[in-house]
Amino acid sequence: MGLFLYFCVKNTNTLHPIYLDYNATTPVDERVLAAMLPWFSVQFGNAASRSHLYGWQADEAVELARQHTAALIGADAKEIVFTSGATESNNLAIKGVFEVSSLANKHIITVQTEHRAVLDVCENLARRGAVVTYLKPATDGLVSPQQVRNALRPETVLVSVMQAHNEIGVLQPIGQMAQVAHQNGVLFHSDATQAVGKIPVNVAADGVDLLSFSAHKLYGPKGVGALYVRRQKTPVLLAGQMDGGRHERGLRAGTLNVPGIVGLGEACRLAKLEIDSNALLMSSLRDTLENTILQKIAGSFVNGSQTHRLPNVTNIAFPNIDGEQLLLNLHRIAVSSGSACTSASVLPSHVLKALGLSDAQAQASVRFSLGKYTTPADVEMAAAHVVEVVQKMANL
């Protein structure tokens, strides 16, 4: 997710920076927290204990959450598998398809700009004999359905393309891509972690076979997520990745995280009700922040498509500015850069490099991601702070 910087500005009181890193994580909605609390103490039953009231109540709560989760993405409740988050969901989807396939020289198609939760899985499978094709996006971050078509082989078992990008917010045409995959008998998976809860997602309309997401990106708790596994027409078959029980239709062993699942369900219920109003608010504030910065800082530009993107994200490059110093100086806001920390250095984002940026441009790019708690005052102060810092650095 990049280098997360979070500093406190000290005076007589401790002031927190303005939070503009909602793509990294979101605070738990107080209504979600209220729904979760009883399941930590009073209603503490194991959902797999079917012989007494405590277990029955927990099971009912899980199934209600499953319905709310499914409703948000246009799925059937029986198609939802609860996991510990999108990373586990991605592992279950991609490895599950790979391991259940009987094809030799199994081939997977993905994109150079995917999250590490997909790229690392593909690299793992490559060491186990998989052949992986990494599609290169255009300079705006988009991949075309024709690229998917051109990459397909008789041995292709899966296409995995992120619906909404975590760094640049770009939205891929996953419905068209899924159609291309299906025309060739290939399954389609999408890591939709950044899309679910921010924009309308409908797995049936898009024809997606597998879709991953996390609660903590939509004002739910950390440590819980879901994988949609299509059951309509021909059910998708997966090899489970955890042994130790027949939980979640045999796909995910382990005692269910009832409080977390309840939180995910409530977050999904609220998101379905509020998604349009939240998107309208965030896009308006994002545009104000973006336009102010672009107008006042000569040479700055937006990374990725400004047409096909999430309503809450802008990733802005500041040429001829030292990236590390820029982030250190932006102490009044909590943002994420396009860089990833290693033990000894700060590396340029693989995403921005794939879009054609130089190392220096990638390191001097900042992702601003807004949320439903962002206010006009936050945006005004954040924009002023960015302009002040960059202009001062440019004049040194």
* Residues with a known catalytic role: 341
Q: How far is CA 253 from CA 54, 219, 278, in A?
A: 20, 26, 36
In the block, residue with structure tokens 């802008």: 314
Beta strand pairing call for 346-347 and 340-341: antiparallel
C-beta of residue 221 within 8 angstroms of C-beta of residue 264: yes
Q: How far is CA 35 from CA 214, 267, 269, 344, 373, in A?
A: 18, 10, 12, 43, 20
- 395: number of Cβ within 10 Å: 6
DSSP 189-232: EEE-TTTBTTB---HHHHT-SEEEEEGGGTTS-TT-EEEEE--S
Which tokens hold the place of 198? Answer: 């921010």
At residue 1, the 3 state secondary structure works out as: coil
Q: Which two tokens stand for residue 266?
A: 């409530």
The distance of Cα 225 from the centroid of its chain, to the nearest Å, equals 11
- Taking the chain, what is the end-to-end CA distance rounded to the nearest angstrom? 30
Output DSSP code: residue 348. Answer: P
